[in-house]
Structure 1
Amino acid sequence: MNSLQSDTIYLNQELRLKAIPTLQTYTVKSGDTLSEIAKNYNTTTEKIMQVNNMVTPFIVVGQALTIESPISPSKETEQSLSKNTLTYTTHLVKSGDTIWDLSVKYEIPQRELLKVNGLSTSSTLSIGQKLTVPVHQIAVQKTVSERHGEYLDWWTEAQYVFPIGKTVTITDLQTGKSFNIRRTIGANHADCETISKTDTAIAKSIWGGFSWTTRPVLVEVDKRKLAASMTFYPHDVEYIKNNGITGHFDVHFKNSTRHKDGRIDPYHQKSIKIAAGVQ
């Protein structure tokens, strides 16, 4: 590459080096465009689309992009990766809108949407009414190893990465077995249901049937792995039919609490730390 005749080099001599591409993760923030992200990483829009199997260059806030780049991100981009940010957007109420449906659509807790707009659960919406919608960008945290997950706080981070309506893959840390679930409800922690009878069968093989035993698991969501703890004892309300269970089960994250008393469950927290590799 440098047309050298020997391996002798001199002080201050300029050498051309071949950059080896590395895979990095970037979480889309408000105002981003694919072309700007590509520029920051010294790559191309087409390359990012190819790596992420994208058909169009359309991106959304909070989306995790895998970037194949020969350089580290720019200082500005690096800062956005290391710090959570909060921005706001506006929604104009249309016919049929409800606070609950909008909270699911924008992937934020209903109570947060109500609070920001000075509303209560008994408030009514008017067509054309402007609602302020919080948009959380949760930075990707470093993990102890590839085997472990991000140790995200439930209240300030995890509930935004794993919102109601999101389908994810659960991997049991001990057995390595995986199955799919969806968060269907839950505020203090994630209340979830299996997607199919096949997923239920895999979960039952891990827990030995239905069980309140906590197990360290990884929640794989949008190419991120989060440290969590799960029990597999279906109870109370359900939304997904014909999946082999009646009710939902619990998935906890750092500092999440029980519904019955609002307290942290020490058994869940111990399993979460194991999944994060911090215990």
Structure 2
Amino acid sequence: MKNITKILLSAMIVPMLLMPTKVFALDSSMYTVQKGDSLWNISSKLGVSIDYLKTVNDLNKDTLMQGQVLKLIPDKHNYTVKSGDSLWKVATNNSTTISYLKTLNNLNTENLYVGQVIKLLPDTITHTVQQGDTLYLLARNYGTTVDDIKYVNHLASSNLILNQKLLIPYKSQQIKENISAAVSNPATATASGSVIVSTPQPVKAFPSVTYIVQAGDTAESIAKKFNVSASDILKYNYMTNNDWFSEGQKIAINGYAPRDYAVTPGMDKAPTQYGHLVDWFKDGQYLLKRNDVFTIVDFATRKQFTVKVLGGYNHCDIEPLTTSDTSVMKSIFGSWNWTPRPVIIFKDGMNIAGSLSGMPHSFDSTPNNSVVGHFDLYLKNSIPHDTSTSQAYVQQHYNNILISSGQNK
């Protein structure tokens, strides 16, 4: 593995628009209940959860009345008390109730004082995990991040369980954009009401200005070299504050780095027989990032195990997440050896064709998984970290990827 240096600055990632099915609303912030409507079908139309609708509208039951107007977007999170305000007035002006505000703000009295900050909505929304949900899609839907959801819920991995209750730190502006997209750009949803994520246009080539990362470089230091912002450096290279630059890496400076967008998060609900061919340098390195957790399915046996990304620049270096995962992986290979096997990578609703070797080696970051070292995971056009690596070994990986993608049946 090459030397790596951590990015110290954060960046804002511009979310892709989410386009639920057509809605019949007064505007993008209100919805009038139609005959036959239920919270379930309204939530499916809008691409938001039932829990979200109930929280925003202070509903304590699931029954609705024809003609009832539902708020789709929180008015605001907090309200600062002004002269002449009462709890009744604050509740009425914000379409909520006194009892709800008292409970939310832990108030024992209805007395208020000027300058007091009243919370109008919780900082989190409760979401019940549905079939097809992933942390990636939930983060997109609510305008938050996977890391924030994992932090609030104390999640050690990205795996979700059907009907699991999650606290979602949300941004009302993102929800507003999602619902506005539903009103102005209706699209067909799946039968289960899952949100459809639009696919960005591929980027065919690097922009006119590029840079080869040197040891010790950070987003800030690179930005200073070119008199641009660090946030643009991160944005143009599909990176966040949690990602790392690699020495020798070619990055984009004044436009986006090449992307194929061969796969889209949320396109599949479960592992499939074959995976998609995904170029490591144009897509893979941006989808399988350091500390990501995902499922690997052995192509021949269909056995599954969970892995964590250690790192990697030319290909992905992974480690089994737990002792149990190590046991499953070893049972597939029989004994630890370098001969790679075709596999399917299932992450965030994407199935990717890959090839995995079975020899632990070098660096290790997961001490309690009963194996020391990491394993090579190749995607289309991955290359070794070491130029002395046997070309026959690399070709085995390439052949396996054709098998796991269904190109060589």
Residue in structure 1 matched with residue 298 of structure 2 by the alignment: 172
Q: Does 1:249 align with 2:372?
A: no
Q: Deviations over 1:112-138 (max 9, x none)?
A: 8884469xxxxxxxxxxxxx9979683
Q: TM-score, normalised by structure 1?
A: 0.62
The CA distance in 2 between the partners of 1:268 and 1:175, in whole Å, is 18
What amino acid is the match of 1:270? N
CA contact (8 A) 1:173 1:216 kept: yes
Instruction: Flag structure 1 segments of 5+ consecutive residues without an equivalent.
Output: 1-28, 62-66, 71-76, 119-131
The CA distance in 1 between the partners of 2:285 and 2:385, in whole Å, is 15
Q: Structure 1 residues 149, 107: CA separation in 2 closer, same or farther (over 3 Å shift)?
A: farther
Secondary structure of the residue aligned to 1:179 is strand
Residue in structure 2 matched with residue 43 of structure 1 by the alignment: 45
The CA distance in 1 between the partners of 2:145 and 2:388, in whole Å, is 33
Residue in structure 2 matched with residue 152 of structure 1 by the alignment: 278
Q: 1:248, CA displacement in angstroms?
A: 0.7
The CA distance in 1 between the partners of 2:49 and 2:333, in whole Å, is 42
From 138, 144, 148, the equivalent of 2:261 is: 138
CA contact (8 A) 2:239 2:286 kept: no
Q: 1:172, CA displacement in angstroms?
A: 0.2
Residue in structure 1 matched with residue 363 of structure 2 by the alignment: 237
Larger radius of gyration: 2
Q: Deviations over 1:142-195 (max 9, x none)?
A: 99x941001001111111111222111110010010001111121111111111
Residue in structure 1 matched with residue 199 of structure 2 by the alignment: 81
Secondary structure of the residue aligned to 1:81 is coil
Higher strand content, 1 or 2:
1
From 6, 10, 14, the equivalent of 1:30 is: 14
The CA distance in 2 between the partners of 1:113 and 1:272, in whole Å, is 24
The CA distance in 1 between the partners of 2:281 and 2:343, in whole Å, is 19
Q: Does 1:58 align with 2:143?
A: yes
Secondary structure of the residue aligned to 2:291 is coil
From 250, 260, 277, the equivalent of 2:386 is: 260
The CA distance in 2 between the partners of 1:258 and 1:31, in whole Å, is 33
User: Percent identity over the alignment?
Assistant: 25
Q: 1:211, CA displacement in angstroms?
A: 1.1
Q: 1:107, CA displacement in angstroms?
A: 4.3
Q: Deviations over 1:199-258 (max 9, x none)?
A: 100001000021111100011111111000001110111111121111111000111011
The CA distance in 1 between the partners of 2:311 and 2:199, in whole Å, is 29
The CA distance in 1 between the partners of 2:15 and 2:317, in whole Å, is 32
Q: Does 1:274 align with 2:403?
A: yes
Q: Structure 1 residues 146, 185: CA separation in 2 closer, same or farther (over 3 Å shift)?
A: closer
Q: 1:68, CA displacement in angstroms?
A: 3.7
What amino acid is the match of 2:374? H
From 317, 321, 332, the equivalent of 1:191 is: 317
Number of aligned pairs? 216
